[in-house]
Structure 1
């Protein structure tokens, strides 16, 4: 009987296929030719039938033969509709003009005003770069990462840091992608700026919860950043002059309507101010960063399009005999191919590298410390849409990774010896499949399964350790040998049910595995933090997360939106240092590690005002993040370093006049968890501090108010040059928020200890002149 049913179904399939046709195409900006990622396409005669454009502006819909009105829309663009008669599959491209319901507010928004209700995925937020330009930030530099940390569930690692924690995870548990290439250190100047020049960025999407199956390799979040494609209609540029940095961008067509390019550059000039110093040491100091973004694309034909994008950035710091530099390099080569109107392919070859170096030079010293992490990644993704209610995504990838952790090379006359090369090699692979299914007009599902693999490769010596950290056995492996292989299945599930047109409930579950681990002695990311791979002793980190949320649009045309999400996350194979660990160049790092578990849970509330002269959002997070290790705090649960139970952010923009807008942000949060000394003792004639339980204390609570104003004349018709001024004051209240607290013996009384607080910024005014032509 099953065989008969199967034959019957197959025999009916051609007849059914003849009654359905596919409409597909691309959605672009009319003025620049930029792909409009996430633009909405609807068939007005078929309620509930619609889709969104993918990352390359491509959409596809399969519907019955008939005459329909195809409508496309995108935030900040005029809606466009076309009447078409579909008797066979047809290509239908759209070019939308900006205008219509222009959004001048600064708002974190979904892909459409109803996206947070209609999509199955919860815990997803997007930043529109046109809408964050007015948020006041440090030194007036637009910063997508800093703005992202104003979202509930996303917490900055500390004052002046680009490191961030998502839903109780560590800073290394976030996958940051720039045009599909991972960026390992997303900060400049020790965290005061992020690596991302906003002039080069088209959009940013952060997945805080159950990320789709095409993403993997990190436990907490994915930050997917897309660079602009470049204007394929005309040549033009833009830039800005600030107090500490300047930037310039140039974009234009390679061949009009077929290809375009984008080049952006940015550099700070703090070192130029130092040269004016009368102090000879300070005068010769080096303190600057630069970054360069490039992108080009070319349409080979109707079914093939080639992309190349790259990033190069470096920080240089030095004074006297000390010098340090670190930076990222990425390159992505992609080919988009349309096999059929329903099957879309993206093939990517990706290179990523992060390295840092420290140099100590003098008459009798010549010491270099170098470290790097380098990836070669080949990735194949497919997207298949057999009907308007279903989309399949499937693909595979392989990453060959090389890590060199802190290699020291020293001259024969130096006081320190060179260390052996401990470079290790690994192969990380994955295959995935996901299915988006609109089961009914009210019920949506996204299911997925990811199979991740990790293989540690020779050459090198690899050891196993007992619980005390002593070597049990050590084995040498030749080049290309497989030392150890791990496989993990990672199921994903998201579902939403629309209670009404403007209200939805969502639930989700996701498992993630991570095979790259960052060892740090602070909650903030640092250029000298140490990366290690999964090994014989270090197991893949695992996270299981359950989440549920309530989403609602309020007021006419979604003037307000409200979301409330809860989550609970179980963490396995977490890594931390043993108590009293002292690292040195000769330390066998794995012997100092402990392995335990963690948990994180919380509630996230977000209220946004999307329209009107006053726009913005209020976000609040109530959360807890804890860890448990047998050898720490006698096995009791303790606060993770990034645990901050209360976190509040308020962002607002007020359009005062057509030329002037005012903006402000207010943030307040519990201080990070820290470990303070609770006493003193004498040892070998020295006074030493006795520390209490791990992370049982806290820094003082954090509070900051920033204000900004933007002056911008409406652009005159026929005039290409346009400019604006942005003024801001960082930390208007002048609060001395603690960066660090150290403890020292009172100079005239060795029995007493004093706490010394270091604050970075009290009040920082800035002004930036922006222009485009």
Structure 2
């Protein structure tokens, strides 16, 4: 976004008005609250009764009263200005039995609230009181997820947080080759993914088949699908906030599991009752043992190979960690690829005093692939003998990060959280194909490093006010290089890089004038050194409970993003997305959210509807389809413009009982319009999907849990090449030109898939055992992943590349009770 001086003054005036609204709400609240000696604060901490793990984002309220709050990341809560008297305190947390305690408004001792999981053992008898895996909250577009219950859902062997999020309304669930979240028309890079405060830039393993997070190490997950508050910034679509497990601070615990792809283990070590240390590790053994499941997945990702060293055809999967292909595949001897992935989580949590918590977290995840091979003699179908070229084909990608946090309660009403976090994403790929006749290949490297310092403060001056304010400094360094090689020469490439410093501050006020209405008003402002501009991001949301069951909600906000992943629309080499910084060449991405919704809910059922609209500016794409002359700089092939996304989401959920689950439907579309691209005409985004219908069901049959998921999605768009012909240049050289049709003017067939699973838990005196059997794509639907086009033949040959077919898997988890 480019702002002139007049526009900057307008934004400053709007920000002052917004800050005035914040102060007005606080003043009204202060005038309506007269402090009295007959009032007090109710404070406490919420823990798991089995392992003493603190429970964040639990709902805490006084039954029949207007006093209501959420626990913070460390399980602490405060209800302020409670009149002295007898009350029933109720605490609710997803996956746990609600608990009620008697309390008064003047208790000087913090309450210790111990909650019991909804499947537990009492005097040798396992009691099942099932609740669902997800929980929509009173906040608009916010859904909680219970990681500990994910093991009962169908999977490809790995319990997967992000694959479960893809089953929610508004989140695309039809891409088998990506764990990234396409939310309400946004792309995965537009999501702020936080793990214990550190930013994660790449979220999957095995080319997108699994997410990069071990669910055994995650305690709490919240998804903000849009309209998120001012404390979050730097992204324009959504927020995924994950809090890692801290471990048992009283008893040693450990568990381990394995499936047909990997093995994992978790260890929890107490630290003298003051803290705990948790270590979780997962590694595939696919470089040692190649199971049938591994071969099925890898062969699907690998696709068909071509005889000649030709680039992947338009519509291909693309290169880099988001997909296979990229430069092209060549007929070889039978290649045994060397592939493995791993991830490691470690978290140390320590409370030196009742008011302080210190937490240190480390995360590392990496994928390595080596498909190198030596040339060999092969016999062609017509009986000729040929020598295939030598091939070096290696790639490596992943994330590393660490965070340190100090949380201090300065009293019952004021807390501070100080955070220092470092995050690194890396992707390296190299291909060399050499024979006696030719030598060609490419080199590609992309790296993002992120250093963040953050301070968040929460102040509760009155029972109807929650005030948050703080600042964040982020230093981001991005480097990207791509070189196309022929022999010893570099025949073209792209080299981008830069460092950006972002300083942000925010303030927000949540005001509850009555027990049926609350409104949150906030503003975030950011100074970005690459553009030397100030960006204002006002935001607001409201919630109105008409009756005990019916509520209305809405949100509006403005959002900016300064680091983004660019889609490479090279029709010869497929998509190779890469991260870049906004700056002189590319404007920051901007989005404006408008959301309205309504819901009906009782103890057993929930019906929810939300409608949204997002206006986008600064949408960017890189494409060589407009490269009209040889030697034209690749840096000239960036295109920017606007976009619009809107849709309606429906959710019907059964929350309790032996049978739980949900049904969802999404009607949506997202369109882009880029200057100088596609003849200036708007076009559907590559992830546009008009209809998506999903069902999730889980049934408790004694010791067995039976579950199923079904996903239907209308066809995604794709671009088709129309012709290829040679052009003679002025110097006599020939250039092969491919004429491409209108961008994303065709649609693939509809996608649908049924998955099923059965989970059985066994227990002995000292151990528990959990067995999971899953069927992926149970009825073997041949969904089309993408289409390849061969223009060397007339008429053009079109090949449908299919996704994974019917695939069974099995997993086992063992642990101490």
Instruction: Give the TM-score category using the shorter length.
Output: 0.7 to 0.9
Whether the aligned pair in 2 keeps the contact of 1:43 and 1:68 (CA below 8 Å) is no
Deviations 1:356-406 (A, max 9, x none): 222457999998643211011000001111222211111100001111112
Determine whether 1:514 maps to 2:561.
Answer: yes
In the other structure, the counterpart of 2:402 is: 331
In the other structure, the counterpart of 2:771 is: 725
In the other structure, the counterpart of 1:530 is: 578
In the other structure, the counterpart of 2:506 is: 432
Go from structure 1 to structure 2 and tell me whether the alpha carbon gap of 1:619 and 1:85 turns closer, same or farther (over 3 Å shift).
closer
Go from structure 1 to structure 2 and tell me whether the alpha carbon gap of 1:677 and 1:362 turns closer, same or farther (over 3 Å shift).
closer
Whether the aligned pair in 2 keeps the contact of 1:105 and 1:616 (CA below 8 Å) is no
Go from structure 1 to structure 2 and tell me whether the alpha carbon gap of 1:581 and 1:452 turns closer, same or farther (over 3 Å shift).
same
CA distance in 2 between partners of 1:616 and 1:15 (Å): 46
Determine whether 1:667 maps to 2:726.
Answer: no
In the other structure, the counterpart of 2:450 is: 375
In the other structure, the counterpart of 1:271 is: 287
Go from structure 1 to structure 2 and tell me whether the alpha carbon gap of 1:766 and 1:9 turns closer, same or farther (over 3 Å shift).
closer
Query: What is the SS of the residue equivalent to 1:634?
Result: helix
1:147, distance to aligned residue in structure 2 (A): 0.7
1:318, distance to aligned residue in structure 2 (A): 0.6
Whether the aligned pair in 1 keeps the contact of 2:118 and 2:130 (CA below 8 Å) is no
1:109 to 114, 121, 135: 135
In the other structure, the counterpart of 1:459 is: none
CA distance in 2 between partners of 1:687 and 1:207 (Å): 47
Whether the aligned pair in 2 keeps the contact of 1:541 and 1:573 (CA below 8 Å) is yes
CA distance in 1 between partners of 2:647 and 2:442 (Å): 47
1:772, distance to aligned residue in structure 2 (A): 1.2
Determine whether 1:542 maps to 2:616.
Answer: no
1:734 to 769, 776, 780: 780
In the other structure, the counterpart of 2:122 is: none
2:546 to 483, 499, 506: 499
1:70, distance to aligned residue in structure 2 (A): 4.6
CA distance in 2 between partners of 1:730 and 1:15 (Å): 60
1:589, distance to aligned residue in structure 2 (A): 5.0
CA distance in 2 between partners of 1:343 and 1:109 (Å): 28
In the other structure, the counterpart of 2:194 is: 177
- Deviation larger for 618-627 or 80-89: 80-89
Query: What is the SS of the residue equivalent to 1:439?
Result: strand
CA distance in 2 between partners of 1:373 and 1:660 (Å): 45
- Deviation larger for 61-70 or 344-353: 61-70
1:677, distance to aligned residue in structure 2 (A): 2.6
Determine whether 1:632 maps to 2:677.
Answer: yes
Deviations 1:55-94 (A, max 9, x none): 2211111124413325132234344444444447553332
Deviations 1:579-629 (A, max 9, x none): 615699998554211221111111000001111221111111001111112
1:695 to 738, 744, 752: 744
Deviations 1:181-219 (A, max 9, x none): 111110111101110111111121111120011111111
1:159 to 157, 162, 176: 176
1:247 to 260, 264, 268: 264
CA distance in 2 between partners of 1:610 and 1:428 (Å): 42
In the other structure, the counterpart of 1:389 is: 464
1:66 to 84, 88, 95: 84
Whether the aligned pair in 1 keeps the contact of 2:30 and 2:462 (CA below 8 Å) is no
1:709 to 740, 753, 758: 758
Q: How many pairs are equivalent?
A: 714
1:53 to 55, 71, 92: 71
Whether the aligned pair in 2 keeps the contact of 1:125 and 1:207 (CA below 8 Å) is yes
Determine whether 1:77 maps to 2:96.
Answer: yes
2:798 to 746, 755, 763: 755
Whether the aligned pair in 1 keeps the contact of 2:648 and 2:667 (CA below 8 Å) is yes
1:686, distance to aligned residue in structure 2 (A): 7.9
1:331, distance to aligned residue in structure 2 (A): 0.4
In the other structure, the counterpart of 1:129 is: 147
Go from structure 1 to structure 2 and tell me whether the alpha carbon gap of 1:65 and 1:542 turns closer, same or farther (over 3 Å shift).
same
CA distance in 2 between partners of 1:286 and 1:490 (Å): 47
Query: What is the SS of the residue equivalent to 1:142?
Result: coil
1:682, distance to aligned residue in structure 2 (A): 5.0
1:274, distance to aligned residue in structure 2 (A): 5.2
Determine whether 1:347 maps to 2:392.
Answer: no
Go from structure 1 to structure 2 and tell me whether the alpha carbon gap of 1:582 and 1:130 turns closer, same or farther (over 3 Å shift).
farther
Whether the aligned pair in 2 keeps the contact of 1:157 and 1:163 (CA below 8 Å) is no
Q: Which runs of 5+ in 1 are unaligned?
A: 1-7, 111-115, 457-483
In the other structure, the counterpart of 1:113 is: none
In the other structure, the counterpart of 2:664 is: 619
1:577 to 618, 622, 644: 622
Whether the aligned pair in 2 keeps the contact of 1:204 and 1:225 (CA below 8 Å) is yes
Go from structure 1 to structure 2 and tell me whether the alpha carbon gap of 1:285 and 1:260 turns closer, same or farther (over 3 Å shift).
same
CA distance in 2 between partners of 1:639 and 1:432 (Å): 35
In the other structure, the counterpart of 1:98 is: 117
Deviations 1:340-368 (A, max 9, x none): 21001110000000012224579999986
Counterparts of 1:139-538 in structure 2 under 5 Å?
Answer: 139-156=156-173, 158-256=175-273, 258-273=274-289, 285-320=337-372, 321-360=392-431, 369-406=444-481, 414-416=488-490, 422-456=496-530, 484-521=531-568, 529-538=577-586
Determine whether 1:22 maps to 2:74.
Answer: no
Q: TM-score, normalised by structure 1?
A: 0.86
In the other structure, the counterpart of 1:472 is: none
Query: What is the SS of the residue equivalent to 2:352?
Result: strand
Q: TM-score, normalised by structure 2?
A: 0.82
CA distance in 1 between partners of 2:627 and 2:233 (Å): 33
1:604 to 636, 640, 649: 649
Q: Which runs of 5+ in 2 are unaligned?
A: 1-26, 120-126, 296-330, 373-391, 729-733
CA RMSD, 1 decimal: 3.2
In the other structure, the counterpart of 1:464 is: none
Deviations 1:21-58 (A, max 9, x none): 222221111221111112222234x6121212122211
Whether the aligned pair in 1 keeps the contact of 2:497 and 2:581 (CA below 8 Å) is no
CA distance in 2 between partners of 1:729 and 1:584 (Å): 51
CA distance in 2 between partners of 1:689 and 1:584 (Å): 13
Go from structure 1 to structure 2 and tell me whether the alpha carbon gap of 1:156 and 1:97 turns closer, same or farther (over 3 Å shift).
closer
CA distance in 2 between partners of 1:64 and 1:335 (Å): 29
Whether the aligned pair in 1 keeps the contact of 2:613 and 2:647 (CA below 8 Å) is yes
1:495, distance to aligned residue in structure 2 (A): 0.7
1:16, distance to aligned residue in structure 2 (A): 2.7
